[in-house]
Amino acid sequence: MTPPLTRPPKKNPVPRTRRPTVPPSTRSRVALGLTAAAAEGRFALQKCDRCGNVQYPAQEMCRACLSEQVRWATVSQRGHLLSDTTLHHSNELFFRERLPWRLGLVQLDCGPTVIAHVHDDCRSNSAVRVTAKLDRSGQAVMIALPEHDTPHMSDEKRYREFVCDPKFRRVLVTDGKSAVGQALVHALVAAGTSMVFVGVAEPWKRATGFQSVAALPQVQVMPLDVTDTDSLLEVAGEVGSKIDILINSADHNRTSAVLEKRDVNTAHDEIEVNYLGLLRLAQIFGPIMRGRGADGQNSACAWVNLLSIYALTNFPAFGSWAASKAAAYSASQCLRAEMREAGIRVVNVFPGPIEDEWHQLILPPKLTPAALAAAVIGALKDGVEDVFPGAVAQDLIARWRECPKTVERELALER
């Protein structure tokens, strides 16, 4: 049984911080289907539409009937751990620093036999469940977990290499005055974070409920404005080297279509916060976090961007705001590629309409701030890259993948 994780000691500032390393990341194009599923928390393998054969590793055609009609499909995760071994030597730098490392051979109930990383709570020659997780290089690997959850299972040292659990970590929430920001702070405290640094722009403006957030013993309020470079530099100089997870919750939404305004002032403000704000954060905090990708239990591990499902396809009623979120999404993909070199995961969150003042006239279903915060915590604990919380986001992403043009036309009619 995994022992419970203990709060890490304060870092000794004398030794040099280790440089981050990542596991081997080379994959064939067809094998990236496993990574695409794991990025959203799904376990999918190739399945032949002709004969029904499930196969692994991925190939261009079915190995049973040679059909080219193979697709990635969600399959059963149950299996049996046939054998396992513990690795005590490796020439790969990533594994050399983390030995010993347990590996095993698992026979899946759906057919294939796979090599997987094995959780310490798995007993040899026993039933297990296999999941696909993204490793520090951003590629999918298979992990054998106990058939049923065990106490403190997520605290296992090697398992935490594949997730970004906020337990005992220090988090920066860039905007704590909004309803979503406050919900995030409460959820992070409940998840066991050591410290939550809460950014506040325009502190002279009072926000409903913020006093209860500021009064939490795990919270430190800091003046932070994503439109002000000097503000970001000051916060980075004070606490930048302590941040393990950064959650960019800053948002500016004024609910306008393109032709409703006779100037670009609203669009400029939305771009200033939603897109340029992200760039400022990345340029100031990104290099600091990237240098701490191997800082022991206190390593920087994740960067979360709260975007919108309308970053993928514009909703004309929120046309200007959706365009700024689309720009932020594109920048976030670039940030993900750059942060991956240090093993830091960039998580993009694509919610549908939120239950707040700017979505007041949107009919339900809408996502509550608490539900959105729970989805963010779940994404960190599960180690996923992309999450689509809420019924609207789930419906839109499913239809968007089938035919983006159809979704574009349907949203235009909802204006």
pLDDT digits (tens, 9 = 90+) for 191-217: 999 999 999 998 878 888 889 999 999
Contact 144, 130 (CB under 8 A): yes
Query: Are 147 and 192 contained in the same domain?
Result: no
Residue in the block written with tokens 């729970």:
374
Is residue 1 over pLDDT 80?
A: no
Chosen domain end from 161, 186, 202: 161
Chosen domain end from 134, 161, 188: 161
Residue 174 lies in a domain: yes
Residue in the block written with tokens 């995961």:
345
Is residue 40 over pLDDT 90?
A: yes
Q: If you average pLDDT over every residue of the chain, what do you get?
A: 93
pLDDT value of residue 82: 97
pLDDT digits (tens, 9 = 90+) for 14-36: 777 888 999 998 999 999 999 99
pLDDT value of residue 324: 96
Q: How many domains does the chain have?
A: 2
Dihedral, CA of residue 31, residue 32, residue 37 and residue 39, to nearest 10: 140
Residue 24 lies in a domain: no
How are beta strands 44-48 and 78-87 bridged, if at all? unpaired
Query: Are 205 and 146 contained in the same domain?
Result: no
Chosen domain end from 128, 161, 194: 161
Residue 13's pLDDT band (cuts 50, 70, 90): confident
Concatenate the DSSP letters of all residues of 189-203 into one string.
HHTT-SEEEEEESST
Query: Are 134 and 224 contained in the same domain?
Result: no
Is residue 219 over pLDDT 90?
A: yes
Dihedral, CA of residue 277, residue 283, residue 288 and residue 290, to nearest 10: 100
Amino acid (1-letter code) at residue 144: A
Is residue 415 over pLDDT 70?
A: no
Amino acid (1-letter code) at residue 117: H
Q: How far apart are CA 175 and CA 248, in angstroms?
A: 7
Residue 22 lies in a domain: no
Least confident window among 121-135, 170-184, 246-260: 246-260
The rounded percent of the chain whose pLDDT value lies above 90 is 83
Contact 187, 376 (CB under 8 A): yes
Query: Are 155 and 206 contained in the same domain?
Result: no
Which residues span the domain enclosing 191?
170-413
Long-range contacts: 241-244, Cβ < 8 Å, 24+? 241/288, 241/292, 242/170, 242/195, 242/197, 243/170, 243/171, 243/172, 243/197, 243/285, 243/288, 243/289, 243/300, 244/166, 244/169, 244/170, 244/171, 244/292, 244/298, 244/299, 244/300, 244/301, 244/302
Q: How far apart are CA 289 and CA 14, in angstroms?
A: 19
Least confident window among 166-170, 297-301, 359-363, 378-382: 359-363
Residue 382's pLDDT band (cuts 50, 70, 90): very high
Query: Are 211 and 152 contained in the same domain?
Result: no
pLDDT value of residue 209: 86
pLDDT value of residue 350: 98
Query: Are 380 and 276 contained in the same domain?
Result: yes
Query: Are 147 and 241 contained in the same domain?
Result: no
Report how far Cα 46 is from the mean position of its chain's Cα atoms. Answer: 25
Handedness of CA 51, 54, 58, 64 (dihedral sign): negative
Query: DSSP class of residue 5?
Result: P
Beta strands in 96-136, from DSSP E residues, in sequence order: 101-108, 113-118, 127-134
Q: How far apart are CA 333 and CA 326, in angstroms?
A: 11
Query: Are 151 and 177 contained in the same domain?
Result: no
pLDDT digits (tens, 9 = 90+) for 77-124: 999 999 999 999 999 999 998 999 999 999 999 999 999 999 999 999
- Collapsed DSSP state (helix, strand, coil) of residue 317: helix
